[in-house]
Structure 1
Amino acid sequence: MEKSTFLLFFMIVVGLPVILGVGGDMFKRWLKHKERMAEALNAQTAEKAAQYAAHTERLEQRVRVLERIATDKGVALADEIESLRTLPADNAATRPLN
């Protein structure tokens, strides 16, 4: 029985601290890896958000241009169309296109 008691004592005194030490180190490494992955994901997300913001800004600029074309030139364009309708058919064929 003394041999099994010595073995149990040895496992508790030596084996348990070694296992906990290795396990603790493995946990610290895993936690550091997770933190790095989170930082990389945050950087990637921020980059995508900036790309989406730039794309949205370009689309908004295009819409502003289209709105300005539709509102500013709409009256002049309608007048030009109406003037073409009032021209005689033979004069419209000889009129140069702009």
Structure 2
Amino acid sequence: MAAQIAPMADPGISPNEDGLPGLPVVRNIVGALLTWGLVACVAGLVVSVIVWAVAHQQGNYSHASSGKTGVIVAAGGALLIGGANAIVTFFSGLGSAI
């Protein structure tokens, strides 16, 4: 016995600007979080470069490797934080095309 598949109906729901009060406040909070995240990435990058340089100069290659990893992580974090809006917009567009 074959199961019948009912066609999916579009419920007609989409994101809107006036659905909930306080949206401008939430946007300000998220913007501030982005700023804090970027400041943390800069601090992590500076600390990692210092660890990398000092450890390499002293011949401690294990810590130098950790410094290199910290540089990559900080740079990757800055890339993702800086591109967060574009990433979400891209995947939101993909999701609406399903």
TM-score bracket, normalised by the shorter chain, equals 0.3 to 0.5
Q: State the TM-score, normalizing by the size of structure 1.
A: 0.40
Q: State the TM-score, normalizing by the size of structure 2.
A: 0.40
| Rg larger in structure | 1
